[in-house]
Copies of this chain bind each other. A is one copy, B any other.
Amino acid sequence: MGAREERIHPHNRHGQLRRRYQVIRSATVELVQDLSAEDCALQSMPDASPVKWHLAHTSWFFETFVLEGGLRGYRCFDPHYRTLFNSYYVQVGPRHTRAERGLLSRPGLREVLAYRAHVDEAIARWMDGQPSAQALDLFELGLHHEQQHQELILTDLKHLFSRNPLRPAYRAAPARMKRDAPALEWSRHAGGLCEIGHAGEDVCFDNEQPRHAVFIAPFRCASRPVTNGEYLAFMRDGGYQRPELWLSDGWDARCHNAWEAPLYWEHGEDGWRRFTLHGMDEVDPSAPVCHISYYEADAFARWADARLPTEAEWEIIARAVPVAGNLAESRLFDPIAAASSAGVPLQCFGDIWEWTASAYLPYPGYRPAAGAVGEYNGKFMVNQFVLRGGSCATPASHLRATYRNFFPPQARWQFSGMRLARDD
Could you tell me which A residues sit within 8 Å of B by CB distance?
A: 36-42, 44, 52, 80, 83-84, 88, 90-91, 96, 100, 102-109, 160-161, 163-166, 168, 193, 212-217, 243-244, 246-250, 294-295, 298, 310, 357-359, 361-362, 364-365, 375, 379-383, 409, 423
User: By the criterion CB–CB under 8 Å, are A165 and B250 in contact?
Assistant: no
> A106–B213 contact, CB under 8 A?
no
> Closest residue of chain B to A307, judged by CB?
B362
Complex interface: chain B residues within 8 A of A295 (CB) = 382
Question: A244, B91: Cβ atoms under 8 Å?
Answer: yes
Please give, as numbers and ranges, the residues of chain B lying within 8 Å of A42 by CB-CB distance: 41-42, 102-105
Given contacts A100-B163, A382-B250, whether A106 and B364 have CB atoms under 8 Å apart is no
Residues of B within 8 A of A216 (CB): 364
* A214 surroundings in chain B (CB, below 8 A): 214-215
Judge whether B105 and A38 touch: CB under 8 Å: yes
Cα–Cα, bound, A41→B214 (Å): 49
Excluding A38-B108, A38-B109, A217-B364, 19 further A-B contacts by CB distance (< 8 Å) are A37-B38, A38-B41, A38-B52, A39-B106, A41-B42, A80-B166, A84-B165, A105-B160, A105-B168, A106-B168, A212-B217, A213-B215, A213-B217, A214-B215, A217-B365, A244-B375, A247-B379, A249-B380, A383-B383
Question: Inside 8 A of A37's CB, which chain B residues have their CB?
Answer: 36-38
Q: How far is the CA of A247 from the CA of B360 in the complex (A)?
A: 13
Contact A382 B247 (CB under 8 A): yes
Minimal beta-carbon separation of A103 from chain B (angstroms): 4
Contacts of A358 in B (CB 8 A): 361
Q: Shortest Cβ distance from A88 into chain B, in angstroms?
A: 7
